[in-house]
Amino acid sequence: TGLISVKCFFFQVALGVHPCQAFSVETAITFQLVVCVLVTSRPKSTFHLLGPVVAGLSVTLGNLVAVYWVGLFVGALLAGLLHDLVLFPRWGCPGDWLAEFKELFPKDPHKQPTTLEHTVE
């Protein structure tokens, strides 16, 4: 007597769990994990010294509550947007963020960059 799974899209959920429920839980758990990591990894953060503990507790909570699949990507994206646009904005407006995001992709998808344009100092 184990968990009976049903195949849905690209992942499986336990019998009685709707895919939207699984997606929502995965998104929420990943969101809180990424926000914890982003906030505690800032050197000026009040929680900087507790970063490893907070991240570990966040992972533990996530493993107890959810199984990561598709929600992983959506939760991480939402947390990154919250961090970069609301908590610690790096740009004047969302349009600035979008312009920088578009620069990540080459104009000609078949042409690979030969040098690093942005070097870390």
pLDDT in tens, 58-114: 888 887 777 755 667 778 888 888 888 788 887 887 788 788 888 877 776 566 555
Q: Is the dihedral of CA 65, 28, 76, 36 positive or negative?
A: negative
Reading phi first (left if > 0) and then psi (alpha if -120 to 50, else beta), residue 9 is in left
Rounded Cα distance, 34 and 18, in Å: 25
For 49-65, the pLDDT digits (tens) are: 888 888 888 888 887 77
What global pTM score does this model have?
0.52
